[in-house]
Amino acid sequence: MIEAAELLRVVAAEESDVFVLRQHGRRVSEAVGLEGQDQVRVATALSDLTREFVQQDVRATVVFSVCQNGANHLIIEFHWNLGTDIEFGVGFDTAQRLMDDVRLARQEHRGTVVLTKQIPASAPGAVEPLNRMRALLSGEPETSPLEVLRAQNQELADALEHLEVRRQDQERLNKELDETNRGVVALYAELNEKSAQLKAASEAKTRFWSNISHELRGPLNSVMGLANLLLAPDSDPLTEEQHQQVRLIRDSGSTLLALVNELLDTAKAESGKLVPYLVAVDLSALFDRLRQTLGSTVTNPEIALVIEPPPFVTPVITDETMLTRILRNLLSNGLKFTERGEVRLSLHTEQDGRCLRFEVTDTGIGIPADQREKVFEEFHQVPGELQTRSAGTGLGLPYARRLAGILGGSLVLDPDRETGTRAVLRVPVAEQRISTLPRLNSILIVDDDPLFRERLAGMLTDFADEIREAADGRRALDIILEDPPDLAFVDLHMPVLTGRELLRILRAKPELAAIPAVLVTSATPEDLDLSVAGLDAGLLLKSQLSAESVVHVAGTAYQSAKEAARETG
């Protein structure tokens, strides 16, 4: 228990003592160093609590003490005998609001109310000697009740004035807050407008690239085709100078076409329209294609392109086109910036086979440590002599990293590589759902390309008793109305009746709506019109045609159609 030193002791028994206690409260508060407002609080709490004792004819002894051990406190105690019962009301509530702590205790025949007010450490009276404080408080107050009442009125007027000042400050702050809120609302409206403008600009840019893709690629392909015809061995002979000029035209067209393709692909990736098309991918076949296509570009005998065979033969589920573009980009960069040595592609597995790690290493000029993240910024190229001699746009690596992100993986450069470059591509392998295609009675192939129909039919021979063919959508509709197939492969673009129109007709007829269908197209998924959605069909890209992809897509479409039929039936 903390010991307190007594400063003053007063008896409260009559109405006049209410004023006396108020005066003592002010004097003691001032003596211990409380500031003006706290002095008023202590005096008011004392007078209101004393009034409750006087009104109920209960004689109380009031003791003023100060505690200077550690935290400084003013302590005021009311003591009375319990011979007369007392009920505390408004005065006790007032004391609780104005003092830091109020405690009531009844023990045997004695009752006690203890009021506590903390004295700030910086108060001048907090360290005042006790004898000096007692001397200041000795003697009765000389102020009359009328003067006390006047002082109370003045204090009340000061309090009201203070409240009025605070009210005006509050009104001013509220006004400023309202103005700020209006500014914030206006700012949000402006930001929303700017966001809408940026979105519209981005969509316009994407539409622009999409609309001019054929216009740009068409003439370039024509130029390159004509140049190849002129350079063909069976064409009319050219002079050495003419041969060099035509070859220059072809090479320049090839470079420009690559630039256009990179710009278009980058714009698609930025717009978020690139979506992965997951199919079963034969990595051995993919590596063979990379070896054939890039091997022919190696003209320096001092450079070796090494593509290690995959450590497994099981197909994996991923987007074959995106994966091929990433690896081709990394290998092409390695060949471009390697003067001697090798460029090597290797494959490893992580996380129990759930993640593939592709590593492309070279013995080239390498990339400085401070440039290894900057090369993933669009149009950034590492300065150097070999860089200036190699054609490039600075879009390849940023595009490759975006594709890796779309696949759910990552693309980084090894920070510990001191010579050459090592690019590490991590790609998660999608869970391979078992999409088996049972043997069916009949399969219908609808395509205006007879060679493609023949190739696709050869892949489906083991899965159907009968394979029927149609060269256009109108003929296919007649066949379906006469004898519906168990599965239909429908080309998106056909004469007379397109694949989109044919599927819409089938989905609108209740007796034909449940026919499993696979939409076949040469377009990439991001180039497909949104109207293709809602046709309840699988998607098969001609560029990724293989026995595995055909069975996977057809099996998925067949199972989905049967499950939907069971749910609706």
Rounded to an integer, what distance in angstroms lies between the CA atom of residue 416 and that of residue 419? Answer: 9
Intrachain domains 279-428 and 440-568 with the same fold: no
Rounded to an integer, what distance in angstroms lies between the CA atom of residue 527 and that of residue 540? Answer: 14
Please tell me the CATH superfamily of domain 5-143, with its number.
Histidine kinase-like ATPase, C-terminal domain (3.30.565.10)
At residue 5, the pLDDT reads 82
Q: Treating both helix axes as pointing N-terminal to C-terminal, what angle do 320-336 and 283-295 enclose, rounded to 10 degrees?
A: 40
For residue 337, give both structure tokens: 């910036």
Cβ atoms < 10 Å from Cβ of 401: 21
Rounded to an integer, what distance in angstroms lies between the CA atom of residue 280 and that of residue 451? Answer: 23
CB 21 within 8 A of CB 60: no
CATH class of 440-568: alpha beta
Rounded to an integer, what distance in angstroms lies between the CA atom of residue 127 and that of residue 480? Answer: 105
457-482: buried (b, 16+ CB within 10 Å) or exposed (e) per residue?
bebbeebbeebbbbbbbeebbebbee
Record the pTM.
0.47
pLDDT tens digits in sequence order for the chain, 569 residues long = 446 788 888 898 888 888 888 888 888 888 888 888 888 889 989 999 999 999 888 899 999 988 866 568 899 999 998 776 788 888 899 999 999 999 998 877 788 999 999 888 776 554 455 555 555 555 555 555 566 566 666 666 676 777 778 888 888 888 888 888 888 888 888 888 888 888 777 667 666 766 666 567 667 777 777 787 787 777 788 888 888 888 888 777 776 776 676 666 666 666 665 667 777 788 888 898 888 888 877 878 888 899 999 988 778 888 887 898 899 888 988 888 888 889 999 999 887 778 899 999 988 877 777 676 777 776 656 655 555 455 555 667 888 888 888 888 998 887 766 678 888 999 988 765 555 788 899 999 999 889 889 989 988 888 999 999 999 989 999 999 999 999 999 998 888 888 888 988 888 888 888 899 998 887 655 555 444 555 778 888 877 777 777 888 888 888 888 877 776 65
- Alpha-carbon Rg of the chain, whole angstroms? 45
Domain extents in the chain: 5-143, 279-428, 440-568
At residue 530, the pLDDT reads 42
Please tell me the CATH superfamily of domain 279-428, with its number.
Histidine kinase-like ATPase, C-terminal domain (3.30.565.10)
Residue 233: its H or E element: none
